[in-house]
Amino acid sequence: MKIKHLEVPQKIWKDKRIPKETKYIYSYIYQKGFDRIITDINIGEIQQTIKIKNKGFKKSLDILEHLKYIVYQEYATGMYTITLN
């Protein structure tokens, strides 16, 4: 699945504390969980769109959680439950 048009709140694109790759990950999470509060994501889904390993993905999620954009929990290796704030 390729994402062609990302409609994400502008505040994340203007936030200079967030690396570009992390912004793309947030965009993917936002698109997948658009009408929901909680969404489940597998690292394999992300890897089809963005070339990233689980360690890098987890680092990006830590950044987003620290800045209070999301809350996440890893319930198995590469499997995450994410709550959008």
- pLDDT by residue, tens only, the chain of 85 residues: 454 454 667 888 888 999 999 998 988 888 887 777 788 899 998 899 889 999 999 999 999 999 999 999 999 999 999 998 8
Domains in the chain, number: 1
Residue 72: CATH number of its domain: 1.10.10
Is the residue at 37 inside a domain? yes
Count CA atoms closer than 13 A to 57's CA, side-chain side. 24
Is the residue at 77 inside a domain? yes
Q: Which domain holds residue 64?
A: 10-84
Is the residue at 2 inside a domain? no
- Tokens at residue 59, please? 């680092």
Is the residue at 78 inside a domain? yes
Is the residue at 45 inside a domain? yes
Is the residue at 5 inside a domain? no
- Is the pTM above the cut of 0.85? no
Is the residue at 3 inside a domain? no
Q: Give the burial string for 19-30 (b: 16+ CB within 10 Å, else e).
A: eebbbbbbbbbb
